[in-house]
């Protein structure tokens, strides 16, 4: 929904909506904005603490939930269910996830419209949202696998 490339964008949107721009929220937003992999709440907590040591894990959960609700972050679901968060930086995009290094790449536009229309027509469903995630191995890890393992 909202396109945020950095924490300034988040700041403005939060303010606009009447939320306060607090140190804990800043710390979480910066961590997410600076990461190019997905992070569990626990990992966000660990990193954000370097900026704001008294940050509690609970606030991380709350902030991540808030950012997800506002469209700044997306939950990342893996096959085994446990999930993390990554910053949502594009209008409408989906994730490409490296299963080795957890890098997350967002890619725009998804050409799913014809498929969605066909399924809707065949089933009678009104389709409201969709979730698409691609899982694979990034170029760096492809190279690394040959060496390490």
Q: Which residues bind DNA (CB under 7 A)?
A: 15, 19-25, 40-42, 52, 54-59, 61-63, 65, 80-83
Q: How far is the CB of 85 from a second copy (least distance, A)?
A: 10
- Is the separation of the CB atoms in 106 and 91 below 8 Å? no
Neighbours of 1 (CB within 10 A): 11
36 binds, among DNA, a second copy, none (CB under 5 to 8 A by kind): none
By CB under 8 A, residue 1 contacts a second copy: no
Q: Count of residues binding a second copy (CB under 8 A)?
A: 37
C-alpha angle 46/48/52, rounded to 5°? 115
Smaller CB separation from a second copy, 21 or 125: 125
The site map against a second copy for 71-100 (x = CB under 8 A) is ----x-x-xxx-x------------x-xx-
Element spanning 54, H or E: none
Residue 70, class by beta-carbon neighbours within 10 Å (0-12 exposed, 13-18 middle, 19+ buried)? middle
Q: How far is the CB of 25 from a second copy (least distance, A)?
A: 21
**Which tokens sit at 91?**
């209008």
């Amino acid at each position: 929904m909202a396109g945020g490339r950095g924490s300034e964008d988040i700041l403005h949107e939060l303010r606009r909506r009447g939320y306060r721009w607090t140190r804990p929220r800043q710390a979480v937003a910066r961590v997410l904005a600076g990461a190019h992999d997905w992070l569990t709440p626990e990992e966000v907590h660990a990193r954000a603490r370097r900026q704001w040591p008294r940050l509690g894990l609970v606030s991380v959960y709350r902030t991540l939930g808030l950012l997800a609700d506002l469209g700044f972050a997306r939950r990342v679901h893996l096959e085994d269910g446990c999930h993390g968060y990554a910053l949502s930086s594009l209008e409408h995009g989906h994730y490409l996830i490296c299963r080795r290094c957890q890098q997350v790449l967002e890619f725009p536009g998804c050409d799913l419209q014809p498929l969605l229309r066909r399924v809707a027509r065949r089933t009678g469903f009104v389709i409201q949202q969709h979730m698409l995630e691609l899982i694979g191995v990034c170029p760096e890890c492809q190279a690394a696998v040959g060496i390490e393992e």
